[in-house]
Amino acid sequence: MNSKQRLTITVLVFCIALFSVGPARVSAEPATESRIKAAYLLNFARFVTWPEEAFDNSVAPIVLCVLGDDPIDSALPTIQYKRVQNRPLEIRHITSLGELPRCHMLFVGETPPKTIQQVLTAIGTRPILTVSSLPGFSSRGGMLTFIKTENKIRFEVNLSTTRTAGLSISSRLLKLARLVP
């Protein structure tokens, strides 16, 4: 075998090895910020207790509504219909405040500040867990806000608004949160 043939075989083996490793790298991709937030939303549903009257019956789904645009939309299918408290988690995108009564959780994406205040006013004391990534959301009357600290996704909780809405948050979840006065 001459040197040209050896070089050709070496290049061919290298290419085969390179392409066979490629898919393994893709599947080992680290979780995106959106997927982490979606996982948090699922766990929020697991560790929050709603009053019985918030549901039509004992098997009614927990409805997570999404208002506004947010990159989290791409990750929400990963949690759709997961079982939470013996109920399926159903995800709906809403476009008007009239759809709020069907929601148990509301994720507020990019929306004007005026709209956020209208949403929070419309919810009032209804048992709807409000969550957002918008800065200061919990301070303005929202319940849970995703925050980034030390390159990690965390969350803060406004206990006053959750209690006023008749929602109870597990102490296991509260241990991970930063409380908003």
| Distance separating alpha carbons of residues 61 and 149, to the nearest angstrom | 33
| Distance separating alpha carbons of residues 156 and 154, to the nearest angstrom | 7
At 3 the pLDDT is 46
15 and 47, same domain (yes or no): no
40 and 24, same domain (yes or no): no
- Tell me, what DSSP letter sits at residue 71? G
80 and 10, same domain (yes or no): no
What are 111's strand-pairing partners?
Answer: none
CATH number at residue 41: 3.40.50
86 and 20, same domain (yes or no): no
26 and 38, same domain (yes or no): no
At 113 the pLDDT is 87
77 and 141, same domain (yes or no): yes
37 and 22, same domain (yes or no): no
Compare 72 and 6 and report the one with higher pLDDT. 72
**17 band by pLDDT with thresholds 50, 70 and 90:** very low
**181 band by pLDDT with thresholds 50, 70 and 90:** confident
**Model pTM above 0.75:** yes
CA dihedral for 77, 81, 82, 88, sign (positive or negative): positive
* Nearest residue to 69 via CA among 107, 114, 120, 31: 107
pLDDT digits 0-9 by tens, 62-71: 999 999 989 9
Please state the rounded mean pLDDT for residues 101-113: 94
Tokens 């809403």 identify what position?
94
pLDDT digits 0-9 by tens, 129-166: 999 999 999 999 999 999 999 999 999 999 999 999 99
120 and 150, same domain (yes or no): yes
* Whether residue 121 has pLDDT greater than 80: yes
5 and 74, same domain (yes or no): no
37 and 25, same domain (yes or no): no
Domains: count for the chain: 2
Two tokens, residue 163: 């209690």
24 and 103, same domain (yes or no): no
At 31 the pLDDT is 66
119 and 153, same domain (yes or no): yes
- DSSP-based helix, strand, coil % in the chain, nearest 5: 40, 25, 35
* Nearest residue to 104 via CA among 146, 39, 166: 166
Q: What count of other Cβ atoms lies within 10 Å of the Cβ of residue 31?
A: 12
pLDDT digits 0-9 by tens, 21-61: 333 333 334 569 999 999 999 999 999 999 999 999 999 99
Work out the mean pLDDT of the chain and round it to a whole number.
Answer: 85
5 is in which domain, residue-wise? 1-30
Please state the rounded mean pLDDT for residues 119-124: 95
**19 band by pLDDT with thresholds 50, 70 and 90:** very low
